[in-house]
Amino acid sequence: MNRYSRILESLRWLLIALPLASTVPHLAGWEWPLAGVVLLTSLPMLWLPTHPDWLLGTSLVLLGISGSLLWLSHPTGLMPVIVFTTLFYAVRFGSLRTAIPVIVVVVGAFVAGWFRFDVSLRSGLLDMALVAVVVLLGLNRRSRTARLEQTQLALARAQTAAEEHARAATLAERARIARELHDVLAHSLSGLALNLQGARLMLRRDGASAEAVAQVERAQQLAVEGLSEARKAVAALREDPVPLERAIRDLLDGYRLDTSAEAELIVHGEPRAVEATTTATVLRAVQEALSNTRKHAPGSSVQVTLVFEDDEVTVTVLDHQGRKPAAAPLTGYGLRGMRERAELLGGQLSTGPEEDGWRVHLAIPA
């Protein structure tokens, strides 16, 4: 029901208020409380349908009784308008428990009026015909509203089905593209990275120039980076974010291929999905730690420990250099950026030397 329909429905309340106002000058002392009941019980018509549901039914029954009594006291005025309006609304909006009592009350009022005012048979039949017409109008409007609601519901279901069908087709196409990327591009890049690693080792064995080795290393690094990006693209196409532990394994695979050194991931706790900002911060910390290991301790093995706790996620990166490195101040932009990123999320970053290597520890609330 649109706004204008609601306004029209509210204006129909005037069919109760105006006849009642026209009768006010003729009311006797005992009729004033009855008029008050009519006015009070007609107010729910301003907010059809009303909530709770029982309110409308109760008010319409009381309105039918009080309006019929006032009509029997003032048969020559506009009080029949109140009676017929109540009957119409009871049939249109009320349940059977509401409509049947109101119909009985109205018919009873007309029968009582016949005996009280000595109404002719013709007038009595005309009154019953009017009651039947009002009931039929209410039923017709009720069925029309029900049909409109069913039509709107059917259109909504059809639109939802069409949207779901389109979404399913889109997801199927994206899944097909993701499979192609994974089966062709990712596998090819993985094989390329392994072949380049073998070529680099052969060049070093045969005493090739440093420039040739550097070019192969650069090509291998590009292949590893391309493999990581391909996996991210596959995950995005499948609308499936890469789990944190899987993303760290990808970084360690790249480090292993790049340096030929051992790289191990240890996971404690039950792996779970974490917020994107937390995932990005942890990955940047691991990436920066591996970059520093490449720079300051090339060829060192690396151990990454990822711990999922109830209220936080921690990651520890430890490179094994075989000696205790000298303590260094936190002057690098990478380490400083890692610490600032962790503090923005309420976490903590600590770095320092261990007995046989350098340790980076990050803890973030999750």
Task: Please check whether residue 359 is in contact with residue 316, taking contact to mean a CB–CB distance below 8 angstroms.
Answer: yes
Residues 6 or more apart in contact with residue 81 via CB below 8 angstroms: 15, 18, 19
Residue 353 backbone phi and psi in degrees, to 5: -75, 150
Give the pLDDT band (50/70/90) at residue 2: low
Q: Rounded to two decimals, what is the model's pTM?
A: 0.45
Of the pLDDT bands very low, low, confident and very high (cuts 50, 70, 90), residue 235 is low
* Mean pLDDT score across all residues of the chain: 82
The string of pLDDT tens digits covering residues 173-211 is 766 776 666 666 666 777 777 777 778 778 878 888 888
| pLDDT of 238 over the 70 cut | no
- State the pLDDT at residue 237: 64
**Range ranked top by mean pLDDT from 28-32, 82-86, 206-210, 237-241:** 82-86
pLDDT value at residue 329: 46
CA pair distance 126, 88, nearest whole angstrom: 17
pLDDT for residue 4 is more than 70: no
123-141 pLDDT tens trace: 888 989 999 999 999 999 8
Q: Report the relative pairing of strands 301-308 and 263-268 from DSSP bridges.
A: parallel
**Residue-level pLDDT at 104:** 93
Cis peptide before 271 (omega within 30 of 0): no
- Is residue 271 within 8 Å of residue 315, measured between CB atoms? no
87-118 confidence digits (pLDDT tens): 998 998 888 888 999 999 999 998 998 888 88
Give the rounded distance of the alpha carbon of 62 from its chain centre.
44
Euclidean distance between CA atoms 175 and 173, whole angstroms? 5
Q: Would you say the C-alpha torsion 13, 19, 20, 25 has a positive or negative sign? A: positive
Helix (DSSP H) and strand (DSSP E) numbers for the chain:
12, 5
Q: Of all residues in the chain, what percent carry a pLDDT higher than 70?
A: 87
Q: Over range 263-270, report the average pLDDT.
A: 92
Average pLDDT over residues 3-12: 64
Percent of the chain scoring above 90 in pLDDT: 19
Answer whether residue 315 shows pLDDT above 80.
yes
Structure tokens at 199: 């070529």
Q: DSSP letter at 24?
A: G
**Which pLDDT belongs to residue 250?**
80
Stretch(es) of the chain classified as CATH 3.30.565.10: 243-366
Q: Are strands 357-365 and 312-320 parallel, antiparallel or unpaired?
A: antiparallel
Q: For residue 332, is pLDDT > 70?
A: no
- Bridge partners of 302? 263, 319
Tell me which H or E stretch contains 67: helix 53-73
Q: Is 48 helix (H, G, I), strand (E, B) or coil?
A: coil
Q: What is the pLDDT of residue 87?
A: 92
Q: What distance in Å separates the CA atoms of residue 122 and residue 153, rounded to the nearest whole number?
A: 46
Contacts of 82 (CB under 8 A, 6+ apart): 15, 16, 19, 20, 38, 63, 67, 70, 71
Confidence grade of residue 217 (pLDDT, cut at 50, 70, 90) = confident
Q: Please give the CATH topology (third level) of the domain spanning 243-366.
A: Heat Shock Protein 90 (3.30.565)
pLDDT (mean) for 49-69 = 85
Instruction: Check: CB of residue 99 under 8 Å from CB of residue 118.
Output: no
Q: Residues near 48 by Cβ (< 8 Å), separated by ≥ 6?
A: 9, 56, 89, 93
